[in-house]
Amino acid sequence: MISFAYPALGWLILLPWLVYHIFPKAGKMYGDALQIPFVSDIAEVKAQTKGKMVLAAARGITAKSGLFLLILIWGLSVAALCRPQWVGEPHKVHQQSRDIVLVVDISKSMLEQDFAYQGRYYDRLTAVKNVVAHFAEERVDDRLGLVVFGTRAYVQVPLTFDKASLQETLFNLDAGMAGNSTSIGDAVGLALKHLATDDTDTANKVIVLLTDGENNDGSISFPQAIKLAAEEKVKFYTVGVGSDTEAFFGGLFSLPKDSGLDEASLKQLAAVTKGNYYRAKDVNSLFQIYDDINRLEAQDKEGRFVQETKDLFYYPAALAALLFLVLFGVVRRK
């Protein structure tokens, strides 16, 4: 299909006609004739052609045919200015993409060293940083955002395709930066608010909430946060971190302990939003959880089409230039 990129320029085809009819003729302003440098040449041409105005009688180009060529040249020039293009059939782009907000607890309790990996123990936040950074690398086509919380909740990284900046920000987090208590409700509300600023379908929005405690601060209670999440219809994957045993002497023996997690509320939040709840007790289980979340079935973003285009303006432009050179050469030769 042929179309024009700048069809509005088509009115220029009428410009010579408008100039001829709108502007006054030269004779009315300056007398019966114009004083031009090559008037003697015109007189010589008239004498040779016995008064008949021709461009090149010997070549068969008369005034009428010359005028036709000028009009054709102008028409081709205007056509080139309108930029004709060949446009192919539209093809739908199937883009696998989601908007995922990672909500991470950075309260002081995340410094507890109870996450085992290859015979060594690491604090919870260090383990979370490495696992979440790996998860971010895997979500190539997604936009990711980062919300952190303690006593207060903050949007640390808005939704972005720049995974490197998100990972850098993630590794620069320190426990206690947002306060020592845990405001899970505020973090849930802030993550939902951040996603609400984007018009993407809720089916393409996911929140992954990770915490090691219970809601003990903030202006939004956990039940209120659950109700808000259900209304917004955004899927939540909740992750409770922390071992239920305490190791002594480098892991030689351990004793049971209270994890401090509000697992009931985390499970309810995941259930009402059609997500899942996971429990991470060590680094391996944390990796496995984020690998499971990584297998989310991506959604197609509707309304994305591409069309192949090919410029054709150089064809009328080249033909106009060729005709002008031919006409100019004939007149000069005569």
Q: Residue 36: pLDDT above 70?
A: no
Residues 137 and 282 in one domain: yes
pLDDT at 92: 58
Q: Could you tell me the two tokens for 55?
A: 């461009």
Q: Which residue has the higher pLDDT, 279 or 48?
A: 279
Residues 79 and 126 in one domain: no
Residues 140 and 228 in one domain: yes
Q: What digits encode the pLDDT tens for the residues 115-158?
A: 888 878 889 999 999 999 999 998 988 899 999 999 999 999 99
Beta bridge partners of 135: none
Q: What digits encode the pLDDT tens for the residues 60-103?
A: 556 677 778 888 888 889 988 898 888 877 765 555 578 999 99
Q: Could you tell me the two tokens for 108?
A: 């002081």
Contact 239, 289 (CB under 8 A): yes
The SS3 of residue 97 is: strand
Q: Residue 301: pLDDT above 70?
A: no
Q: Which residue has the higher pLDDT, 45 or 17?
A: 17
pLDDT at 252: 46
pLDDT at 331: 59
Q: Residue 274: pLDDT above 70?
A: yes
Residues 290 and 311 in one domain: no
Distance CA 87, CA 311 (A): 9
Contact 82, 4 (CB under 8 A): yes
Model confidence at 210, pLDDT cuts 50, 70, 90, reads: very high
pLDDT at 55: 45
Q: Residue 41: pLDDT above 80?
A: no
> What integer best gives the mean pLDDT of the chain?
81
Q: Residue 255: pLDDT above 60?
A: no
Q: Residue 25: pLDDT above 70?
A: no
Residues 249 and 223 in one domain: yes
Residues 173 and 239 in one domain: yes
Residues 280 and 194 in one domain: yes
Q: Which residue has the higher pLDDT, 226 or 118?
A: 226
Residues 249 and 206 in one domain: yes
Q: Average pLDDT of 202-208? A: 87
Query: How many domains are contained in the chain?
Result: 2
Structural element, H or E, at residue 16:
helix 15-22
Q: Average pLDDT of 202-228? A: 92
Residues 50 and 117 in one domain: no
Range of the domain at 245: 96-300
DSSP labels, 113-175: EEEEETTEEEEHHHHHHHHHHHHHHH-TTSEEEEEEESSSEEEEEEEES-HHHHHHHHHT--T
Q: Average pLDDT of 160-180? A: 93
Q: Residue 185: pLDDT above 90?
A: yes
Of 14-23, 24-33, 212-221, least confident by mean pLDDT is 24-33
Determine what percent of the chain is predicted with pLDDT higher than 90.
Answer: 40
Q: Establish how many alpha carbons lie within 13 A of residue 146's alpha carbon, considering only the half-sphere containing its beta carbon.
A: 25
Model confidence at 184, pLDDT cuts 50, 70, 90, reads: very high
Residues 148 and 282 in one domain: yes
Residues 76 and 123 in one domain: no
Residues 230 and 261 in one domain: yes
Model confidence at 56, pLDDT cuts 50, 70, 90, reads: very low
Q: What is the CATH number of the domain that holds 199?
A: 3.40.50.410
Q: Average pLDDT of 235-258? A: 66
Q: Residue 253: pLDDT above 50?
A: no
